[in-house]
Every structure is written in C-alpha cells, then in structure tokens.
A and B are shown apart, each in its own frame.
Chain A
C-alpha cells in the first residue's frame, strides 16, 4: 500500500506492506541508518524515533500507522549545523562509547524534555528506559540535565 508521511521535514511516499515495521522502512528504504536495530521487540529502545513528537520504538510500529504523521529521526534532530540541545549536551559530557544505543537515547531524551522541561532524577528513571550495554548511564544522566538546561536557556 502507499503510505505518505513527513520525515525530517520532507514529504515522503512509500509503497510497502502496511504491516512492515517502520524501522526497516526508515533504514533500508529511506537510507537513514541512524535509527538502530537492537531487538525488534520493543525491548531495548535502540530504534527510538519521534512520531508527532512522541518517542516511539519503530521496530514495533507498523508503517501504516505513520500515514499523515510527522516523523523525526536522529538525522533530523539538529537544525542544520546547529546541534539539538540533547546532542550538544551529549557532546559536552562525551557520552557515547560504542555509540550504537545512543541515537535511541538521544531521541527518547529529546521527546522527554519537550514534555518535562526540568526532569528530576526520578523523571529520568521513569522515562528513559532504553538499554546501553557499554554502561554510559551516569554520563547520560548528567547530559540529560544539561540538555534541559541548554534548552531552557535557548527558549
């Protein structure tokens, strides 16, 4: 079936089985490889993207539900050369190790600070539920607080 949506600000039409997980459409049809496959079962968060501003695990989200929606991936998070506050904070805190889980965490964080501009540690524990095997959580926590600060200062 034909499905239309906007991705990173661009209109896009794909012609696929509507049940196809959005993850593979993004990665292999649209060639945006920043969204990662970790488990395919909504269990790790590596594939997190935004659909209409909500953090979604794209491995478990059928493409047909994206019809008419606005999708953002890690490639569309920054505003041209201006890093998104989350990316800026990640850079300042030197968060990534292997880096594989990081786009998912950054997308989850970006969605959270839209809804909770000043997240507490408890908000972070409850909302950031992805997996990082390299164990970058302590730096991430600092970076999340820092991202909220940068965003609030910019506003």
Chain B
C-alpha cells in the first residue's frame, strides 16, 4: 500500500496521553502500606476459608506514583488495574474522588505505564480490581488530600483545620487556592503520620450510579485500544501460528513470500516465523505463501480428550469434608459435562512494539503489565527498567490476556527489523492458539433421608489446568495447594446443613493450553451442582427454591445467600402464574464472598426447523457487599449473565485430528441479539462495609437455571453443555 494522499490527523490523538507523563508532578511522600495477611498453613482450612485468607493488597508506593496534580487543577490517576470493560476505572475514580473531595470529572484515568508508575503485583482479574484496592486506595488518596491541605494552610497562612475543600478549591477566611496552585507553590511533601478516611455517611461520590468514565471515548470510537496505536515508521507483522495443538515449529521456506509486494522481511526465530511488511493486508497475503514444516507430537481426537478428562483419570485432592463419607449402594448419582470454551474477546491479542539498542516500549492490551515487562526483558536480555509496557484499554480480557507471550514475539520482530511493529493475531490464530476454558466432568452422588432432606452429598470435578501453569500462579503455591483453584472454584457445597459432605478435585494435563475463563471453575461447577440440587429437589418432591433454602446454613453467608434466592424468586414471580408456555428455573452460587441467585424464564419455541430453548427474562439478585457504583454493578451482572448464557447454551470447542474446531465466529456460536433475553433484571442487596467481586459470580448460575427450567417444562434433564445442542439431541 502506498501512502494516502491525505493523511488524517485523528491518528495522532492516541498519543496525546503520553505527554501527561512529563507534566508537572508533585513531590514525593511515603505512606505506610497495609500488612500482608499470611497464609494459613493448613491446606484444607485454606480451601474452606479461602475468602478470609486471600492476601490483601498493600500500597507502599508514594501517592505521587499514583496521582499527578497539574497546574490547571486536573488530577491524573495512573491506574495499575486495566480497564477491560469491567468498569474498574470508574469505580477507582469514584473512590479517589471521594477522598480527594473532588467531582468525578476532575479525575482523569490513565493506564499506569511500568516506567515509574504503580505496577500491579498480581493481575487485573479475579473480580478484585475494586475490592482489593478499596481500602489502600482510600488511604492513599486521603493521604494526598491531607498533604495538599497542609501545604495550602501554610501558603494561605491559616490553620489546616479552618480550610474548606470543594472540588479542588481550598478556601478559608475569604482566601482560596486550587490544588493545582498548591502543587505549583509547595515544596514540602510530608506524608501525614495518620490518615483519616471519610466516614461512610459523608460519601458523596461512592455509591452513586455515575456513568462510566470511559463512556464518551467509546461512543465516539476514539483510538484507545492497542490495535489502534501507531508509531512513526511502523511496520506490520504477523506470526505464523501452528495449525494444530501439541505442535512445534521446525523450519520455514519463505522464498516466495519475501518477493511479494510490500514485504520487508521474513523474521525467523528459533520457535516461530513472522512476516513483516508495509501493510497488514500485504502481510496477510504473504503468510499464505510461506511453507512451514510443523511437527505434531501426536494426533489428538475429541473422544480421547473427553476420556482423559473423566473423574478418576487424573489425580484427586479432597477439598471439602464434613461429617462422614457414605459408601453404599443406591445413592442418587448423575454425571455432568461441560466442553472446552474460547474467550473469543473481540479485540485479538497483539501489541505495538518498538525495540532500540537499549530500550523497548510496548503498547499492549494485557491483564499483566508487570509479567509482560519481565518476559520481554528476559527475551531481549535487557534489565526490566529498559522495558516500558504501556497498557491500553482492552477490547475484552476475560482471562485471555492473563498471559501475553505474543509481546515477546513482537519485541523480537521489532528488534530484527529495527523498526516499530504492529503485530496482531488473525481471528483464526486467536481460536487456534487459544488457551481454553478446560472441559470438565462431574460426578455427583447423594442420599436423601425419609424426610426428603439431603443426608449426604459427594461432588467430584475433573478438568485440565486453569490456574496451574499460568504465569500468575507460582510453582510453590501449586505444590502447596495441590489442587487447581481454577478447577474446583465454585464446586464446594454451600448447603452445609447437609450433615455429610465430600468434594474432590481431579486434575489432568491436557495436550492443549487451558486457563481461566472469566470465572475459573465457577461456570462448570455451578452448572453441575445446581442442576443436581434440582434433581434432588424433584426426587424429594420439594419445591426447588424451598429445597435450597432449607439446606443453606444460618450463618451470615448462608443468610445472605438465602436472601438473594428469595429476592430473585419473588421478583421473577416464582410460584405465580406466568404467560402460557413459560416456566422458571432457579440456581444460585456463593463462591468467595459474593452471593448471587438467578431465575430464568424459559419457553420452548419452534422456528420451523425444530424446537429450541428461548430465554425471555433473567432475574438476578446479587449481594456483593458495599456498592461503589450501582449502575456499574448492574452492567457487570448483565454482561456476566449474557456471557454465561452464551457459553452454557451454544459454545463448544472440540479437537479433531489435533485441530481446534471451530476457528471463526458463527460456527463458534456466541449469543447474539436474537438470543439475548429481552430483559435482565438486577436486584442489588447491599451489605457490609467492603465492596466484593462482581464481574465473575454472575457467570455461574445461569446454565443450571435454564436447564432446570427446561426440565420443569419438558421433563427432560440436560446434563451436558452446551444446552441447545443437548436439547436437540434429547428431543429427537
């Protein structure tokens, strides 16, 4: 492609952000971090009390690493958490605005570059962007507020106590000064010894349904994603990725491709080959002309994968134990399976990288900027400080961007051509070299007593790696835990009024990479457990809602879970008359601290080709602790329900002849507008004084809620995902 005759200025917009980094910034002050809570050495006690044992974040950075106040009285917040749609920027901005006593508009959210800005020691994921940062961020922002106040008092010659703060302006005795002016004039930045955060009754910003702070750029289509970034002289490149699983690159013949129009170079590294050219379409043409020899270790087929995943095949670990194990004939026993699934986030993986003799910069859509920096530095033989990772907005993450080895490839390609390169996956690459949600197999057994109560329940889950092998997990922790959290999460039995409980997690190594998928384990496990609970309710001749309520404990968590069940059921019209042909199905989940219940209103329709399941409405009640932004919570619940519905109803990845199938949207069926319920009603029950996770929990119950409704309506029990396919099978 030759240069267009009239280049558009709009591209340059994306870089204006960079200049913020060199604006006047305030001096340093140190705030004391929070202690890190230790890990209880008793493994099962850890499994059983996970929520109280998760390490808390400590912020030991100076406030000035996080915040900049500029002369024009704007506040820039360099967020170590990335914005991937979950609304983290909005919630964090609200928390900061609250303590800094400013309107939300004054806070400008930026992704923290790894060069001198806060680096997340973990990742953006696990639904903890708000919950983990809530306490330390408040302290940090309150500390900054106090420092500004103390300086203002000195400049104005009044006592700090007499100052009034209003949206970035400080006044006393008829005199006033802005935060920006204080920052320009002050030269003493001493961290206050003690920082007092605001009392909840004084909150003005936290708890309000403020529109998300990134709303307008997203409505105007501004170039905020990594794929939108451009650097001077930038070339385009694509890595040729293996067409099969369990396959390595051997050697490539690129003699034809090298001569094709627009091609600058074919870069051959030890484990990959990439084509570099002047435009993406020219590179796309040329990669088809490269002959690559691949070595596939073994031919894998779907039956084999399913067989490997079966309970009893890998290694097991007891996760939950209550009362005794009951081994006798005649237990009620069923099996459930869920397929591998793709994240299928809309923005493919990739980055814009520029490597020079002693420095590398990457613009990348990643959930792990710190890990990415380390990996790129290692690959280039650089110190970590020589590599700057500038995260951008993510066009969806869901765990797919928890590992971004593609950044290493981009850096090596840039180094090889001595220019900036734009390296992004094709959609086929994105599917083919996915790290999937692992397929799972569940065996559930139970015994009912003569009153129709559950006397014993046993759950076994078996699946491939989820958190194990991921760069955010550590080998040591894996050894210590023994079981993969990403497999068993969501599989514990919350119905602890059942006197005897056993839950085992089985773990297998699959021949393809598997990882976390929005909520690790929660979707598969909740489907199995909550479908089984429904089967038991029917076997006992009890109402599925009542049956759940009587088995939940009376402790605080149990009460909260009962409350969401009742609220969702009532709002959905449980037990009431519904329009002709419609029924309700209910399911709940209480993994970690958040509790949620979902009710699906379902009918069976016929489109002329056959009967199909139609979900009309989903009613959810969620208790996610204290709420920072009710509209943000609603959006996350709606999105989680929709993604969970899509995965439970339609999505499936299979391996045949070692090939991943399918590799394109459409055949990989994601719910579309026509499949979406007309309404998703969200009831928020607020509790406690800490925000809890919101992004993942809604994924859990929806599959079972739909399946349970289908059973009520048709008497057919669906024990396999995806439901649409299973329904067609059992109906024919």
Q: What residues of chain A have their CB less than 8 Å away from a CB belonging to chain B?
A: 10, 12-17, 20-21, 24-25, 28-41, 43-44, 46, 73-75, 78, 83, 87, 90-91, 94, 96-103, 106, 121, 124-126, 128-141
Contact = CB atoms under 8 A, between A and B. Distances in A.
A30 B214 CA distance: 24
Interface string B314-343: 000000000000000000000000000001
Contact of B642 (A38, A98, A101, A137): A137
A33 B228 contact: yes
B579 interface: no
B8 interface: yes
Interface in B655-689: 664-666, 670-674, 676-680
Given A94-B212, A131-B665, A134-B85, A99 B395 contact: yes
Contacts of A17: 1, 261, 281
Contacts of A43: 427, 664-666
Nearest to B84: A98
The 7 closest A-B pairs by CB, nearest first: A34-B221, A135-B642, A100-B395, A98-B85, A99-B218, A31-B11, A74-B221
A142 to B, nearest CB: 9
Interface residues on B, range: 35 or more
Given A29-B1, A133-B398, 15 more contacts: A13-B5, A14-B5, A20-B279, A31-B8, A36-B225, A44-B427, A75-B220, A91-B211, A94-B635, A96-B85, A99-B214, A100-B347, A135-B641, A135-B645, A137-B642
B643 to A, nearest CB: 5
A32 B11 CA distance: 7
B280 A28 contact: yes
A15 B5 contact: yes
Nearest to A87: B219
B638 A39 contact: no
B228 A37 contact: no
Nearest to B227: A37
A130 to B, nearest CB: 8
Contacts of B470: none
Nearest to B669: A131
B3 A37 contact: no
20 contacts: A12-B4, A12-B6, A17-B1, A33-B14, A33-B223, A36-B395, A38-B346, A38-B427, A41-B427, A98-B85, A98-B345, A100-B346, A102-B219, A103-B221, A128-B673, A132-B346, A133-B343, A133-B344, A136-B638, A136-B639
Contacts of A38: 346-348, 427, 665
A49 B344 CA distance: 22
B679 A138 contact: yes
B393 A98 contact: yes
B230 interface: yes
Contact of B280 (A15, A24, A91): A24
B640 interface: yes
B1 A16 contact: yes
Interface in B2-47: 2-12, 14
Given A38-B346, A98-B345, A131 B672 contact: yes
B673 A135 contact: no
A91 B215 contact: yes
B678 A28 contact: no
Contact of A121 (B225, B343, B393, B678): B678
Interface string B132-149: 000000000000000000
Contact of B396 (A78, A133, A141): A133
Contact of A33 (B11, B85, B345): B11
A103 B224 CA distance: 13
Nearest to A99: B218
